[in-house]
Amino acid sequence: MTRRITFPHLILNHALPWLLLLLLGSDNAESRNEDHQTYIIHMDHSHKPSAFLTHESWHLSILKSASYPADRNNMLLYSYNHVIQGFSARLTPSQLSEIEKSPAHLATYPESFGKLFTTHSPNFLGLKPNSGLWPSARYGQGVIVGIIDTGIWPESESFHDKGMPPVPRRWNGRCENGTAFSPFVCNRKLIGARSFSKGLQAAGINVSKEYDFDSARDFFGHGTHTSSTAAGNHVEGVSHFGYAKGTARGIAPRAHVAMYKVLWATDTEESAASDVLAGMDQAIADGVDIMSLSLGFDQTPYFNDVIAIASLSAIENGIVVVCAAGNDGFPRSIHNGAPWITTVGAGTLDRSFHATVTLDNGLTFKGISYFPESVYITDAPLYYGKNDVNKSICHLGSLNPDEVTGKVVFCDNSNRIDTYSQMEEVDRAGAYAAIFLTDTPDIDSDEYYIPSLILPTSAGTSIRQYVTGKNKSKVKSMRFILTELGTKPAPHVASFSSRGPDPISPGILKPDIVAPGVDVLAAVAPNIPFIEIGNYELVTDYALFSGTSMAAPHVAGVAALLKAIHREWSPAAIRSAIMTTAYPVNIAENEIGGVPATPLDFGAGHIDPNKAMDPGLIYDADFQDYVEFLCGLGYDEKQMKAVIRRNQWNCSQESTDLNYPSFAAVFTNETTAKNFSRVVKNVGAEDSIYHAVLEFPAGMNIRIEPSTLKFTQKYQLLDFALSVEIDRESPRVSYGYLKWIDQYNHTVSSPVVAIKT
């Protein structure tokens, strides 16, 4: 199991029921011989006959018309009312074909499967109990955060309700009864918990006690971790087997939590699109303020992207949608990049975990380790493979148990061989412990199942000289559980964090923001062993996870804090405040390899919650702006209906130049200039005067008109135009910044990126 987690008025036609009966009749014998498959069916509900009081009754009628009696009760999985207007069902190809002939049919989405993409991070983000965003937002009091994930462990101390306010009256949700889950475990912190697995089970993946709980209870631990990161309550004295000791708290510790379990602990760790849609649909109906998803599906145009479609519906309802960018770690690998979604990449914290090894000659080295404190090694022989280079690398089958049993093995990994496979080899051979040598560690916190640490290759020379000398080499001591704060430089972009440009809309810079996503400590489910040490299986209530899955709930928590202060702000306004106050300081390189990073890696920069509370200016956008953006993509009528769930829309101002807080200029061989227009709203002082400051490298030129914005009242709107030019000899990716600065020390910063295709 990896811990790098790694989803108007209607015109009614009374004659339509008879028409549907004719259209949907099918050859029952043929249906019996065909395989069933799950489909998500998007319907035009303006065609719903008035005889049906509910959409679900209409959907059932459609399915019964297309089925022989034995199938009627099992075909319908979900009827959707918010994310899309339609349903999901098990159908044969013939049945699907008949449904698609109906004039009410808009689109069909075959079932698809997605995947999963703290004690210190609040401090790292600058959140303080006596000043700034935390006390101003009353720690997120009154805000409801909906988590779409693997479920929740309700008994975790992170979900106790001490100090929590009453449940908001507007809340429409509830806690469901299920396997090992009673509604009575919910409280003023955990106010809702539901599970959705019909799509998964329809695909033949049964939910059982062996693999999961058939309820909202978390088996895998991922949902518990993301929930407690976003909005967990204060819990003192937690750690990861001794590392990162301190008080755990979520980013919005007084916000309420609602869990929508759509991901299940299967061998493939996948989720069914029909279940994800059902969870998001229910979250909208229940009345969440923030929706956080640390999952994703394959990249696809918006009219086929179930998360994009569902998120647009949530945005229309005023819900901020925050999604993980993905863990693919290479260019054009962004997931969840729709411009109405806040897309989050992962950065490192200024915290590191170490062990030390002291050799018998007095030399001491400090390396990376997460091994629990249960072992303290002294006076152990050090083994180096008798100068055999192959053996010193510790590749599979290279070590002789007769030679290494009871010894500390030094694995000289200068050729970048996978550390975890070497650990397996050392363990197989019966060694006591290991020292690994590499500058490219790729091993997670739950994989240190033997006493070991990782040293940089710079330590190799001294250790080789000692271990190959005339005297017998020995490890005098190995000590574990050293947590250090202030590690510099930080943050870095995590090596696994997905990069832009966005493959669907490269003209929208993604990710939007970077937040802590490496070694985040939060609550987990204590029902399964986190790590095996020898013959012992160790469980824990709190653990270190890494992934953009961990970064997204940090931003969801900040969004909850901002929502508590600015209830009137739109989701776009909240995202704008987060982006324009982010900082690019110390983020000039990637985590691994020293490769210069660009906004394609980190978006607007690293989140700075306290500054986001008072951004000065915001780049706002509403539902109509997104409609015009979609119009500019050239979608046909059916594709537009699938995304916006309407029969009529206005495309008079169609443009892909959305009023976004960042600028991405995509250039072909024939173009060297790009123009943008933006509108900013003053949310600061009435008499604010902003002057533009432009920063850009050689080979790139940015112009702006006007260069001064004079506001005379709060909420006033002013527009400006920005142009980007590049030389033909400029690099493939170049970038600068537009910064609006006023007399009250507001700095409204936007990255301006030029991308050559």
List of residues 6+ apart from 515 with CB closer than 8 A: 125, 344, 345, 346, 347, 551, 552, 554, 555, 558, 606, 607
Q: Which residue has the higher pLDDT, 368 or 706?
A: 706
Is residue 119 domain-resident? no
What's the longest Cα–Cα distance across the chain?
Answer: 97
> Are residues 291 and 171 part of one domain?
yes
Where in the sequence numbering do the catalytic residues fall? 149, 222, 549
Find the domain containing 592 and state its range.
Answer: 138-349+493-613
> Are residues 539 and 459 part of one domain?
no
CATH of the domain at 254: 3.40.50.200
> Are residues 307 and 181 part of one domain?
yes
Which of 17, 81, 21 minimizes the C-alpha distance to 51?
17
> Are residues 549 and 474 part of one domain?
no
Is residue 12 domain-resident? no
Question: Picking from 83-92, 550-559, 603-612, which range would have the lowest pLDDT averaged per residue?
Answer: 83-92
Residue 25 binned pLDDT confidence (cut-offs 50, 70, 90) = very low
pLDDT value at position 69? 46
Q: Is the dihedral of CA 423, 426, 432, 437 positive or negative?
A: negative
Mean pLDDT of 439-461: 80
pLDDT value at position 547? 92
Q: Which residue has the higher pLDDT, 19 or 755?
A: 755
Residue 606 binned pLDDT confidence (cut-offs 50, 70, 90) = very high
pLDDT value at position 2? 38
Which of the listed residues 62, 91, 110 is the one where a domain comes to its end? 110
List of residues 6+ apart from 29 with CB closer than 8 A: none
pLDDT value at position 208? 62
Residue 12 binned pLDDT confidence (cut-offs 50, 70, 90) = very low
pLDDT value at position 482? 74
> Are residues 363 and 324 part of one domain?
no
Give the angle subtended at the CA of 628 by the CAs of 623 and 629, to the nearest 5°: 95
Q: Which residue has the higher pLDDT, 421 or 298?
A: 298
Residue 35 binned pLDDT confidence (cut-offs 50, 70, 90) = confident
- Helices 16-24 + 93-100 axis angle, to 10: 150
pLDDT value at position 374? 60
Is residue 152 domain-resident? yes
Count of structural domains, the chain: 4
Instruction: Report yes or no: 680 and 709 within 8 Å, Cβ to Cβ.
Output: yes
Question: Picking from 7-11, 645-649, 695-699, 713-717, which range would have the lowest pLDDT averaged per residue?
Answer: 7-11
Is residue 529 domain-resident? yes
Alpha helices in 339-411 (DSSP H): 389-393, 401-404
Instruction: Report yes or no: 43 and 86 within 8 Å, Cβ to Cβ.
Output: yes
Question: Picking from 6-20, 234-248, 569-583, 708-722, which range would have the lowest pLDDT averaged per residue?
Answer: 6-20
């939060």: which residue's tokens? 522
HSE-CB for 614 with a 13 A CA cutoff: 10
- Identity of residue 594: G
Phi, psi of 179 (to 5 degrees): -60, 120
Question: Picking from 95-104, 314-323, 372-381, 471-480, which range would have the lowest pLDDT averaged per residue?
Answer: 372-381
pLDDT value at position 3? 45
Cα–Cα distance, 142 to 166 (Å, whole number): 8
Q: Which residue has the higher pLDDT, 33 or 135?
A: 135
Cα–Cα distance, 676 to 722 (Å, whole number): 5
pLDDT tens profile 500-527:
999 999 999 999 999 999 888 899 999 8
CATH of the domain at 721: 2.60.40.2310
Alpha helices in 618-708 (DSSP H): 623-632, 637-644
Cα–Cα distance, 84 to 444 (Å, whole number): 38
Cα–Cα distance, 314 to 289 (Å, whole number): 9
Cα–Cα distance, 722 to 703 (Å, whole number): 6
Token couple for 661: 């807080």
Mean pLDDT of 302-315: 95
Which of 115, 494, 498, 495 minimizes the C-alpha distance to 337?
498
Residue 74 binned pLDDT confidence (cut-offs 50, 70, 90) = low
Residue 678 binned pLDDT confidence (cut-offs 50, 70, 90) = very high
Mean pLDDT of 553-576: 97
Mean pLDDT of 79-84: 91
Q: Is the pLDDT of residue 361 over 50?
A: yes
Which of the listed residues 451, 484, 517 is the one where a domain comes to its end? 484
Mean pLDDT of 598-602: 93
């802590």: which residue's tokens? 516
pLDDT tens profile 745-755:
999 999 999 99
pLDDT value at position 122? 75
Q: Is the dihedral of CA 310, 316, 319, 324 positive or negative?
A: positive
> Are residues 231 and 174 part of one domain?
yes
Residue 19 binned pLDDT confidence (cut-offs 50, 70, 90) = very low
Instruction: Report yes or no: 745 and 616 within 8 Å, Cβ to Cβ.
Output: no
pLDDT tens profile 620-653:
999 999 999 999 999 999 999 999 988 888 887 7
DSSP 439: S
Cα–Cα distance, 410 to 461 (Å, whole number): 12
> Are residues 355 and 453 part of one domain?
yes
DSSP 235-271: EEEEEETTEEEEEE--SSTTSEEEEEE-B---TT-EE
Which of the listed residues 560, 579, 613 is the one where a domain comes to its end? 613
Is residue 208 domain-resident? yes
pTM score of the predicted model: 0.87
Mean pLDDT estimate for the chain: 86
pLDDT value at position 112? 87
Q: Is the pLDDT of residue 241 over 80?
A: no
pLDDT value at position 485? 67
Cα–Cα distance, 390 to 385 (Å, whole number): 8
Share of the chain above pLDDT 70, in %: 87
pLDDT value at position 699? 92
Name the range with the highest mean pLDDT among 22-36, 40-54, 239-253, 324-338. 324-338
Is residue 728 domain-resident? yes
The b/e string for 493-511 (b: 16+ C-beta within 10 A; e otherwise) is bbbbbbbbbbebbbbbbbb
> Are residues 305 and 193 part of one domain?
yes
> Are residues 374 and 341 part of one domain?
no
pLDDT tens profile 185-240:
999 999 999 999 999 888 877 766 677 898 999 998 999 999 999 999 988 888 77
Phi, psi of 612 (to 5 degrees): -65, -20
Q: Is the pLDDT of residue 385 over 80?
A: no
> Are residues 333 and 260 part of one domain?
yes
Which of 649, 663, 732 minimizes the C-alpha distance to 704?
663
Is residue 635 domain-resident? no
Residue 592 binned pLDDT confidence (cut-offs 50, 70, 90) = very low
Mean pLDDT of 449-460: 85
Other C-beta atoms closer than 10 Å to the C-beta of 406 total 11
> Are residues 438 and 326 part of one domain?
no
Is residue 115 domain-resident? no
> Are residues 56 and 92 part of one domain?
yes
Mean pLDDT of 374-382: 82
